[in-house]
Amino acid sequence: MEMFTVSRANARGRRCGALRVLGIDAGTRSGRRRRLACMPVFAGYQPSALSLPPPDDLDVTMADQKHAEGIARLYSDREEVATAEANAWTQRTLGRMSERGCVVVATTDARVVGYGVADWLDPDAAPDGFYLLGVVVDPEFQRRGIAHVLTERRLDWLRERTDRVFYFANASNRATIDLHRTFGFRQLNHITSIAGVTFDGGKGILYEAGLPPRS
């Protein structure tokens, strides 16, 4: 299988469980650039923060080439990688869109402000199946329900293909864990790695949700 994900130790030496396409190996990290204001790997956990409504013109749709630059910008900001590496990741990811994978993108005012990936994985130590992977929202637009919609759209896409779905998270990433909880994900077990991804602090969690057809 061409695996979709692989871990990285980011520029601060952490392993974060962020997602990259295999084939961009550690050697390319020499091209990594430091940013003055990069996106935090995980959003700060603020369960009581007030959320705002989504932008009026928010559009959430399947990604295509016109979104590639915006997706690459978000990827580059979060991963602290050079534009060329982010572009390569984006092209590989869009290239995998098929019956087995999708990339959903959120735009407002013609700007890409979020994306989410779903793909089929057959990891060694976890169930084969469809997984939600890598949902990222521009920090300027966080807490406006955008990841919720990106997740809803991916689940709708998956609903036509499966009746259960998995995802995994770094145990420290409580924002994403809360986000997915609202979709009925239940914890299966703790993991230290999956499909080439290892987790900062060594602690990851695998989740599963049933996906009944819409009535």
Q: Stretches 21-29, 42-50, 64-72, 86-94: which one binds ligand COA (CB under 6 A)? A: 42-50
Identity (one letter) of the amino acid at 160? E
Decide: 4 and 166 in contact? Cβ < 8 Å: no
Q: Which is nearer to ligand COA, 82 or 171 (CB)?
A: 171
Closest approach, Cβ 160 to ligand COA, in A, equals 23
Decide: 117 and 102 in contact? Cβ < 8 Å: yes
Q: Which is nearer to ligand COA, 43 or 88 (CB)?
A: 43
Task: Report if residue 179 touches ligand COA, rule: CB under 6 A.
Answer: yes
Decide: 168 and 197 in contact? Cβ < 8 Å: yes
Decide: 135 and 117 in contact? Cβ < 8 Å: yes
Q: How many residues bind ligand COA (CB under 6 A)?
A: 24
* Binds ligand COA by CB under 6 A, chosen from 142, 172, 193, 198: 142
Tell me the CA distances in angstroms from 214 to 56, 112, 132, 167, one per residue in order: 26, 29, 19, 20
* Binds ligand COA by CB under 6 A, chosen from 146, 155, 197, 211: 146
- Alpha-carbon gap, residue 34 to 100, rounded angstroms: 34
Give the binding site for ligand COA (CB under 6 A).
18, 42-47, 51, 134-137, 142-148, 173, 175-176, 178-179
